[in-house]
Structure 1
Amino acid sequence: MGTGIVATAGASMPGLHAPATFVWALDAALLVFLVVAAVRRWTWTTVREQLADPVMAQFWGAPPMALMTVGTGALLLGSDWIGLPAALALDWTLWTLGTVFGLATSVLVPLRMIGSGERAFGGWLMPVVPPMVSAASGALLAQHLPEGPFRQAMVLGCYALFGVSLFATMVIVPQIWQRLVQHGLGAASTVPTLWIVLGPLGQSITAANLLSGVHVLPGQAAFGVLYGTITWGFALLWVATAATVTVRTARRGLPFALTWWSFVFPLGTLVTGTSALAARVPSPMFTGVAVVLYVGLVLAWITVALRTLGSSRTGASKPAVPPPVQAVRGTALPATGSA
């Protein structure tokens, strides 16, 4: 996810198509490696244990988003190397798998939380964001469909997926804010997850404007710009809030955990959303902000990737998992994430 969004966000940046293609290739290789490693190491017992845990279960939203991010990169960037037909076939396959997987997490994981008594944190958004990623990725696929009923059905389906994620987000974000107001920030390891709120916000801006480019319904273009601009304003407010909290926490000590990947993918969705707005409304403001955000995205990715590699070599990240999982009963979360 984190590596893939650097590639897909870079696809819209002038002069970065070639470098972004290499990042996509790296991301595709990482996906293959992680899938093989997961198949070799995971058992049904491990899966059931993670799904039974009210904290670990949230992060099952990451795999479907990772699949679709690689698929979108194949269409936007990989087609230069593997050809458009192969890129479309790969994207359709990963989009279908990711959409089915994501719909499952958006239903099953929230159901798991009913009556659990757990406090909301940013990770609660993870299982409900995949349908929004499906909406944005599906809009790109719909552009390659011939005009007719199937194309219209694809677009309408993407709008439905958009709604699944949007309204789930509208239910969860107030709970996260209420927890912050009533119980404070909690453990430092929870702070990066505040950035996850940007995920559904930025991805919804991207989806709304990409869907507006597939003309099958009246008023699509207006909806994309109006919804996107309004949501973009709130997203920038959240950036300011999350950045302030992060800086304050860092001054006291912000220990590295894999939750630092929360700094990357959500910010990347805001880059793609801002770029999508800039494509619809030629404006120096949107273009300039997109460039600034992308620079921040690359810096965040480099920082987190290097810290992840360093922790992998020393094994420092392994002991960090159990304590936060136990602490979540009060405030914290597991030191997990997705590259």
Structure 2
Amino acid sequence: MNWRPLTYKQHPAEVIRHFTPNWFTMTMGTGILLLMIHAFPYPFPGQDMTARVLWWIDSAFYGLFTLLFSARLVLETDSVRNLLEHPVQSMFLGAIPMGLVPIINGGLLFGMPVWLAQDLWWLDAALAAGCGWLVPYLMFTRQQHSLEGMTAVWLLPIVASEVTASSGGYLAPHLPLAAARTVIALSYALWAFSVPLALGIVAVVFLRLVLHKLPDRAMAASSWLVLGPLGTGALALLVLGEAAGPVFAGTPLAAAASFARPFGVIAGAMLWAYGAWWWAMAWLFTLRYIRRGLPFNMGWWGFTFPLGVYTAATLVLAQQSAMVALKVYGALLVVQLVGFWGVVAARTLHGMWHGYLFNAPCLATEQPEPHNA
């Protein structure tokens, strides 16, 4: 019997076996949406409540997905090797720490105990750094890749560290000084751990597009992924620069910390402008794909989180530079994000209900195991 996609009528054990880390991109997209709704620069009725409800929904889905993925690791250990050696599915391991960050940041807004947010941040930092080492090592030693076959999905395990770094800038002001200094110092290290390597991958993405043109329609959403490292890289510099001054005041690093804010604005603005080029290009790619027809898959969540972190960088840059045009542009980006999220969430819930999205490509060569009803 040949492998086939799952349906909702199949045994729950098959759902566990076919549960892949790309489901965490759903929590990434929903999480960044709730944060941008909360940060929307033009207040509207129900703004805080909408963000709060989405935070609870996002947290519930993250908990569910963690249980399902943990069950796969424990109960389906034979399938883990397939996942780690798959040249695309393994990249989505980076979505696990990235999906946790909006829950931490939202928790700081909605009353999560600071000690819990701090513990989750340290867990997230460990997961992000682990993905940043493990997946590239597997790429170098076990997986098969080619320039023609590569896409911006390569960025996912790398960008996780800078996403955690940006969260450190939001967490630090809530901590005692000693803990805040450690978090900010580590956040800068995580930024350096990620952004330079991500920019190198972006250069390779550009070369691949020149030589081999656009990826297959199934990877259409990957056009937006480049906004991720550029948006988050800028956001991290902006929020860390703002937090560093008060935290390091009166220490030997006070002079460097006082420079961190203007440096964050200057360097963040340059990364943001680079992102503006890719934002326009991603729209051109997407319109071209739409004319050819877009098959839905979980990769569509790539339309949301990269756009969301670029939107966050836009709004913070607008705040720190007091530029009204950036504030308006950021608001328009939030509207775009809401539109993208609405379409992708509706298609995802339909696929979850009918079961056809529980489909692990890394197991495509296997025969399904029989289960009793």
State if a TM-score over 0.5 links the two structures. yes
Match of 1:138 in 2: 168
Do the aligned residues in 2 keep the contact of 1:61 with 1:128 (CA within 8 Å)? yes
Do the aligned residues in 1 keep the contact of 2:83 with 2:362 (CA within 8 Å)? no
TM-score (norm 2): 0.80
Change (3 A) 1:205 1:48: same
Select the residue among 85, 96, 99 that pairs with 2:122: 96
SS at match of 1:255: coil
Do the aligned residues in 2 keep the contact of 1:67 with 1:97 (CA within 8 Å)? no
SS at match of 1:225: helix
Between 1 and 2, higher relative CO (CA 8 Å, sep ≥ 6) is seen in 2
CA distance in 1, matches of 2:363, 2:290: 18
Superposed CA offset, 1:143-200 (max 9, x none):
12233x5433321211111111111111111111111111111310112112111111
Match of 2:237 in 1: 208
Offset at 1:242?
0.8
1:118 aligns with 2:146: yes
1:45 aligns with 2:84: no
Letter of the structure 1 residue corresponding to residue 88 of structure 2: V
Letter of the structure 2 residue corresponding to residue 66 of structure 1: G
Which 10-residue stretch deviates more, 298-307 or 179-188? 179-188
Q: Considering only CA atoms, is the larger Rg found in Structure 1 or Structure 2?
A: 2
Change (3 A) 1:150 1:88: closer
Which 10-residue stretch deviates more, 8-17 or 98-107? 8-17
Letter of the structure 1 residue corresponding to residue 38 of structure 2: A
Change (3 A) 1:313 1:229: same
Match of 2:35 in 1: 8
Offset at 1:318?
4.9
Select the residue among 43, 63, 71 that pairs with 1:32: 63
CA distance in 2, matches of 1:136, 1:294: 19
Do the aligned residues in 2 keep the contact of 1:205 with 1:276 (CA within 8 Å)? no
CA distance in 2, matches of 1:276, 1:246: 27
Offset at 1:313?
3.0
SS at match of 1:213: helix
Letter of the structure 2 residue corresponding to residue 57 of structure 1: S
Match of 1:331 in 2: none
Change (3 A) 1:74 1:150: closer
Q: Is there any run of 5+ residues in structure 1 with no aligned partner, and where? A: 80-85, 327-339
Change (3 A) 1:58 1:27: same
Change (3 A) 1:117 1:38: closer
TM-score (norm 1): 0.88
Q: CA RMSD in A?
A: 2.0
CA distance in 1, matches of 2:264, 2:309: 15
Offset at 1:324?
12
Match of 1:199 in 2: 228
Match of 1:222 in 2: 262
**% same residue:** 33
Superposed CA offset, 1:67-119 (max 9, x none):
1221111112x21xxxxxx4313321221111101101101111222264433
Letter of the structure 1 residue corresponding to residue 314 of structure 2: T
SS at match of 1:54: coil
Within a 5 Å distance, the mapping from 1:182-331 to structure 2 comes to 182-214=211-243, 215=245, 216=248, 217-318=257-358, 322=361
SS at match of 2:87: coil
Select the residue among 198, 207, 218 that pairs with 1:169: 198
Change (3 A) 1:158 1:323: closer
